Amino acid sequence: MRKVILLATMIVLFCFNSSAVFSEQLVTRPKGQNEWEMLNQNGDVVGRVERTEKGNYKFYDRGGGYVGLILHSGKWIPRDARRSYTTITPEAAQLYLNVLKVIETMK
């Protein structure tokens, strides 16, 4: 019985903690031609999205660093994709997911 209560408590805590992470709503603001800034609920710049001539999207983090390219299919080509191995930080992965949501709202 203790194991069931412990497991149920852990599941409930996990659900409440993760809901705050996934509930962040981003707003886009045009920055120039084919370029948008992504803002969080507080109005802070989270990143930048830029449409290329071929219709793909480049995206940058809040510091202006290039993160990668998103193709028409939604596939992400990270900055270091030509290396023999590619590592992706959790922040870059979350930014990629946020950019996908922003691209869907822009279409």
Q: What's the confidence (pLDDT) of residue 8? A: 66
Residue range 44-53: average pLDDT?
Answer: 91
Q: Which of 51, 86, 57, 60 is nearest to 70 (CA)?
A: 57
Q: How many CA atoms lie within 13 A of 1 on its CB side?
A: 0
**Dist CA 71 CA 38 (whole Å):** 19
- pTM comes to 0.68
Q: What percent of the chain has pLDDT over 70?
A: 81
* pLDDT of 23 above 50: no
**Dist CA 99 CA 105 (whole Å):** 10
